[in-house]
Chains A and B, each alone.
Chain A
Amino acid sequence: MELVETIVADCAAGTRRLVAEYGNRLYETAIQLCGRESDAEDYVFRTLERAVARIHQFGGRSSFFTWMYEIMLNLIRTDARRKGANALDFPETVPESSSPAPDAGEALDASIEAEAVRAAVRSLPLAMRSVVVLRYFEDMSVSEIAKALSLPEGTVKRRLHDARDAIRVKIARTIRS
């Protein structure tokens, strides 16, 4: 891959090109994953720093962005474990399966619903949030997500299903309130 060769040949130029090509996309994804811009910037910095240091480990099995996404996710997981946060845990009770309410979107002002969706995604455990971000924000298919996260497709589908139920419940609560 040309970018990899550039980084190997000229670290500074390759790093700048890495930031130019992937920096803002990683930043937007990081904001989705960790919710705060300051944290997101820190994770992008550490992710790109690690990606450059370990550039020889990129084997081309996945896209370059997916490889960096895995690095970033591991950093977030490691930090969450160190802090003892429950971000990795599934919620104790997953809501009963819900179907999309045909009129929910029409009943709410679109911007209110949009903010409710964002808040709901931010409140998900990391395991669910990471698949939601890849599916909705990065538009990856279930099989691409499974490869990116080294998970069985069934697990990805299950997490998406549970995440959707949780998001719908939170949106419904927003409507009621």
Chain B
Amino acid sequence: MNCKEARLLIEDAVDGTLADGARRGFERHVRDCAECRAILESAETEFVRWRSALRDGVRGRTLPADFADRLVRAVEENASKRRAFWSLGKAPALKVAAALAVLLGVAGIVFSAGRTSEPDVLVRASIVPSNAATDLGSRCERITQMLMTEVSYSAAAQYMADMCWARGI
């Protein structure tokens, strides 16, 4: 291995990503070449300096004392909303019908021959008040985009469920 080849491998050597064969050749060269050895040591020192710089920059920074309390309140509130959403409680027939209609709407979008990106397709497929159509439009558009462009239909269904839950439907 010559110096030019060895110097191309210095970053890999510092990061520990040299393949076995290359590492043996590199180590042999560095053992014999003072100049390349100096460059390697400089790179290793640079790594240590930068690591210290980043760590020293945040040393002693801690979250506020009330952070955990606030987070617990938020988490419990979210859990309570989810329980309220999934419990049938008031108007169970309406909620079951709404859930079925949402699923049918998603299925219709997924399996129909002429899928469209127009949000009102999902609105028409779902039982939503007509006066909510406008502010649901952008949400439905997002759901449609997710179905058309993203891999996970379960993610789209989750998004739809979250949307309904957030709106108390």
The answer to whether the Cβ of A118 comes within 8 Å of any Cβ in the partner chain is yes
A19 B39 Cβ-Cβ under 8 A: no
What 6 A-B pairs have minimum CB-CB distances, sorted nearest first? A114-B53, A117-B53, A28-B58, A19-B68, A100-B46, A102-B42
Bound-state Cα–Cα, A140 to B94, Å: 52
* A141/B61 in contact, CB under 8 A: no
In angstroms, Cα B12 to Cα A118, docked, is: 23
Closest CB of chain A to B162's CB: distance in Å?
A: 10
| CB-nearest residue of chain A to B47 | A136
How close is A7's CB to chain B, nearest CB, in angstroms?
9
Chain A 108-141, CB-CB to B under 8 Å as 1, else 0, gives 0010011101100100000000000101110101
Query: What does DSSP make chain B's interface, helix, strand, loop or mixed?
Result: helix
A-B contact pairs, 27 of them (CB 8 A): A11-B72, A11-B75, A11-B79, A15-B68, A15-B72, A16-B72, A19-B67, A19-B68, A27-B61, A28-B58, A32-B54, A32-B58, A41-B63, A41-B64, A45-B67, A49-B78, A99-B43, A102-B38, A114-B52, A114-B56, A118-B54, A136-B50, A141-B17, A142-B15, A157-B12, A164-B11, A167-B50
Contact present for A137 and B61 (CB under 8 Å): no
Q: A105 CA to B50 CA in the complex, in Å? A: 10
Indicate whether A53 reaches chain B with its CB closer than 8 angstroms.
Answer: yes
B-side residues, CB < 8 A to A, are 7, 10-12, 15-17, 38-39, 42-43, 45-47, 49-58, 61-64, 67-68, 70-72, 74-76, 78-79
Given contacts A117-B49, A117-B50, A139-B51, contact A99 B63 (CB under 8 A): no
A83–chain B nearest beta-carbon distance, Å: 17
**B51 and A137 form a contact (CB under 8 A):** yes
- A interface residue numbers (CB < 8 A to B): 11-12, 15-16, 19-20, 23-24, 27-28, 31-32, 37, 41, 44-45, 48-49, 52-53, 99-102, 105, 110, 113-115, 117-118, 121, 133, 135-137, 139, 141-143, 153, 157, 160-161, 164, 167
In the complex formed, the residue of A with least CB distance to B55 is A137
Q: State the main secondary structure of chain A at its contact with B.
A: helix
Contact, CB under 8 Å: B51 / A136: yes
C-alpha spacing A52/B79, complex, angstroms = 10
**A44 to B64, alpha carbons, bound, how many Å?**
12
Question: Which chain A residue has the least Cβ–Cβ distance from B41?
Answer: A102
Which chain A residue lies CB-closest to B44?
A100
With A27-B62, A136-B50: A105-B45 Cβ-Cβ less than 8 Å: yes
> Are A105's CB and B46's CB within 8 A?
yes
Rounded to whole angstroms, the CA-CA distance of A53 and B165 in the bound complex is 14
18 additional contacts, CB 8 Å, given A15-B68, A44-B67, A100-B45?
A: A15-B72, A19-B63, A19-B71, A32-B57, A45-B67, A49-B71, A105-B45, A113-B49, A115-B53, A117-B53, A135-B15, A136-B47, A137-B55, A141-B15, A142-B17, A143-B17, A153-B17, A164-B11
A121 vs B49: C-alpha distance in the bound complex, in angstroms?
A: 13
The residue of chain A having its C-beta at the shortest distance from the C-beta of B39 within the complex is: A99
Contact B78–A53 (Cβ < 8 Å): yes
Given A102-B38, A105-B45, A160-B11, verify A121-B54 contact (CB < 8 Å).
yes
| A49-B78, A53-B78 as given contacts; A117 in contact with B54, CB under 8 Å | yes
